Structure formats: C-alpha cells, structure tokens
Amino acid sequence: MQETVDKFLQMIEAERGFSGNTISAYRNDLVQFISYLQAPPDGDHLSPIEDWAALTGESLSIYMLHLREREYAASTVARKTAAIKSFCHFLTDKGVMRADPAANMASPKVDKYVPRSMTPDEIDRLLSEPGKGADASRPEAMRDFAMLETLYSTGMRVSELVALDLEDVDLEEGKVRCSGKAGRQRYVPLRGTAVGAVAQYLDAGRPTIALSEDHALFLNHRGSRLTRQGFWLILKSYAERAKIADITPHTLRHSFATHALNHGAELRDVQHILGHVSISTTQVYRRIAGDGVHGEAEEITVLADSLVDLN
C-alpha cells in the first residue's frame, strides 16, 4: 500500500507542482490513513484493509468519523480529506479500483469555521421524536431517548457514549463516569430528564433486548454493544423525521457547550465537562454563545455545579 502512495506523491510533485510542504503533509496524512486501515480500533468495527482495491465509501465514512472524534482543526481535516480524495482519484485513474469511493466525500469548510449548534426548538423536536406514535413503548425507542438525552445532557463524544457500561451510571447521584482520550476519566452530571430517561430504559427497555451478560449500557437489537456507526444511523433517522438538517453526533456536543455558556456556565467548567485538555479548544464556543437561547437548554446551566473532575 505504501508503494502506491509513493507513486502518487511522485506524480503530484512532477505533474502538479505541489510544494515540498504540501507533499510532506500529504505523505503524513496518507501514512496515517494506511495505519488506520491496517489496524482500525476495535470500536470502529472496520475489518483491516491490506489492499487498496478493498477500500470502500463506507471505509472512508468511518475514517472521517474517526477524525471528527479526535477533534482535529477543521483546516487539518480539510487537508486530510483533500489528500485522500486526490489519492482515490489517482487509484481510479490507474485502474486499481473500478469506482472512486471518494466521489461523494465532502470537505469541511474552513473559513470562519464555527461549530454548528442546534437551536432550542431543534433540540425539543429531536428529543421528542423517540416518544412519538405507536413505537414509543418499544425498548429501542426508550434506548434512543435515553441516548439522546444523555448525549445532550453531558456533551460527551459519541465514542464515550457507546463505551458506557452499566456501572458507569449513578442515577441516585445523577452523574455518569466518562472515559475520554488517553484513558482520562471524569464524572459528568446528568440533568433530571436524562436521569429519568435512563432509568426508564434500564427498567423497561434494556431487559427486553439484553440477550447476554454484556455490561454495555446501550445495546443494539442483537443484544450487544451499540456502535458509533449504529448510533449515527439512529440519529440521522430521528433528525430526518424532525426535519433537522446538517446534524452529526458532534452537533449535540456543540449544542451542549453553546447552551451552557449562554446560560451562565463558566468556560472552565464546560472545559472539564467536555474533557478538553486545553481551554483554548473550548473557547471556540464563545463565538456562538450569546444568542439568548431558552427552553430545553436552561437546565444545562446547573450541571457544572455538581461536576466532579477526575483528571
């Protein structure tokens, strides 16, 4: 795989006149891409790829989700995306692949990048979807409502959400133990509606779909741990039903942070809740705070008061 990358880099240097810095950056990006494909993390549920012909659009989507969760700057993700798209075009032109898996791969906007935050009305509509209609009593609907409430209530990453085990949740204290990057753990408070949603799921929903001794908090219909990709599909379905466009799991994280700051939470508290190592990462939310949001977001304000940080 590396040999093909070397040929691609030689081509863009000779035919397109890319600068040495760009060539070096592309090389690093594609080496990182190869390493990921050959040994993807267990939680990503992607089979190792040892041949470029086996690369698919789904593989690229999973990798892009992986990059988003590592919270690279938008400009960095844009460059990595450009490198992969250009390389895939090269593979297609050379006949390595019959169809270009990156043909529909979108690049993030980098100019004046501001995280997308949902409005309170959108939050209301999204959170109400699992409880609508005849499906509201289904265990999957209880699970989905509990997941959406937990994600918005805590601002955790979707990888942290699906990694939760039963023992990570303390409903009496109204908090959840979250394992973030580099094994750092933190306790994050849950707002009352999230506590109620998780309690209902544990009481009436999870026992119905639990087919084994799996300790995962959130289970799929087969009774095993729900994956990030599985949650993303669930979220997209509810977003479509609620007529909310341009939403990813990270949008709920952004919305939590923005709404918390709008309602008076301290930047340092939001930093701890989100699990950011540097406060500069959290400061971007100052740019979208101040719009005077109301409604569902109001209870977010008090969550920082009960934060117990384990970093």
Which residue in the list 80, 85, 157, 175 is annotated as catalytic? 157
Is 215 marked active-site?
Answer: no
Is 276 marked active-site?
Answer: yes
Which residue in the list 80, 228, 250, 259 is annotated as catalytic? 250
Tokens matching residue 288: 């979208």
Strand partners, 175: 170, 189
Smallest Cα–Cα separation from 88: which of 65, 64, 74, 104?
104
Sorted by sequence, the CB contacts under 8 Å of residue 69 that are 6+ apart come out as 157, 158, 159, 228, 250
Which residue in the list 63, 201, 238, 285 is annotated as catalytic? 285
Is 285 marked active-site?
Answer: yes
Which residue in the list 80, 85, 186, 253 is annotated as catalytic? 253
Position of tokens 């009436």? 204
3-state DSSP call for residue 45?
Answer: coil
Smallest Cα–Cα separation from 51: which of 9, 2, 8, 99?
2
Which residue in the list 66, 89, 177, 181 is annotated as catalytic? 181
Is 253 marked active-site?
Answer: yes
Dihedral angle of Cα 286, 290, 294, 300, to the nearest 10 degrees:
30
3-state DSSP call for residue 225?
Answer: strand
Is 152 marked active-site?
Answer: no
Q: Residue 8 and residue 286: Cα distance in Å, rounded?
A: 41
Is 268 marked active-site?
Answer: no
Which residue in the list 66, 68, 138, 276 is annotated as catalytic? 276
By annotation, the residues acting in catalysis are: 157, 181, 250, 253, 276, 285
